[in-house]
Amino acid sequence: MSLNRVFDIAGSAMAAQSARLNTTASNLANADSVSGDPNKVYRARQPIFSAEPSFATTLQSESASVGVRLRGIVESQAPLGQRYAPEHPDADENGNVWTSNVSTVEEMVNMLSASRSYQSSIEVMSTTKELLMQTLSMGRS
Amino acid sequence: MKIDPFANHASALKLRASRNEVLAGNIANADTPNYKARDFDFAKALANVQSGERSNSVRLLKTQPEHFGATAGTPSDPDVGYRIPSQPAVDGNTVETDIEQAAYAENVIGYQASLNFINQKIRGLRTAIKGEI
């Protein structure tokens, strides 16, 4: 029955959005972390979403509804920052440390967008649950 | 006398449920790059179910009355199309959450309306069977 599929779809969306919230939390927490080695600096992490089953598969199959799959988490390739901090124990010979490439504004926007999408999915789920309950009690009133 | 009071509402409920699934998929993929929002015309799909036909499908040509008419798919499968976005996103996603939520709400109300009609008809039949009010 197709109403049951809605729970899978909304559930996959909630899982994906909560992973996005997780990366946002980790990015914001590490926004100010520094390192002396550019390879060891924290880089912003971004989740990659894809539709499941994939777009090409849905074109062939009859089922039109798709959930979300978290395909992976990638590190941002944005340029790292540098800060002059000679008192820092990890500073290089010029007195510079590398700072992470987390954009706080971007992360805040990501957080809002993720929580709104999460709320939409919850709304879809609870509405569908209500519909199912009403369908189950059909003819009893 | 032929009594089939639920026929229309039963198929309407089925279609509403599958539209619910399609729209839920759209809302779920609001942040998925390259996802294209999908939907189908409920009125047309219901008309197709009632007439037992399926639009846009390939049919065998009947040149003789003895020929069989064959269609791809069943009449209950709606023709799901792609929504034309008013503001496409840069990442190729065509879901507009507000539009999807509006369509979802409309669909849910339609589902509940059909349920209500069915319930009323059951009540009417019960009254008729019992012969008392």
**Which tokens in the block code for residue A25?**
């939390």
Distance linking the first and last C-alpha atoms of chain A: 23
Q: Hey, are the CB atoms on A3 and B21 less than 8 Å from each other?
A: yes
Query: In Å, how far is B64's CA from the nearest CA of chain A?
Result: 31
| Nearest C-alpha neighbor of B121 from the set A64, A52, A138, A44 | A138
**Which tokens in the block code for residue B85?**
């976005």
pLDDT band, residue A25 (cuts 50/70/90): very high
| Nearest C-alpha neighbor of B79 from the set B118, B108, B129, B40 | B40
- How far is Cα B31 from Cα A11, in angstroms, rounded to an integer? 15
If you average pLDDT over residues A89-114, what whole number do you get? 91
- Window 28-47 of B: residues touching A by CB (8 A cutoff) are 28-36, 38, 40
| Contact yes or no for B28/A13 (Cβ under 8 A) | yes
- How far is Cα A19 from Cα B30, in angstroms, rounded to an integer? 15
Query: In Å, how far is A25's CA from the nearest CA of chain B?
Result: 18
- ipTM score here? 0.82
Q: Hey, are the CB atoms on A65 and B29 less than 8 Å from each other?
A: no
Interacting residues of A119 by C-beta distance below 8 A, sequence separation 6+: none
Q: Which of B23, B32, B71, B97 to mutate to test the interface with A (most CBs of A within 10 A)?
A: B32
Neighbours of B31 (CB within 10 A): 23
- CB distance from B50 to chain A under 8 Å? no
Task: Say if residue B3's pLDDT is above 70.
Answer: no
- CB distance from A115 to chain B under 8 Å? no
| Contact yes or no for A120/A10 (Cβ under 8 A) | no
Q: Give the pTM.
A: 0.81
- CB distance from B101 to chain A under 8 Å? yes
Residue B78 pLDDT: 78
Predicted confidence (pLDDT) per residue in A124-137, tens digit:
999 999 999 999 99
**Summary mean pLDDT of chain A:** 87
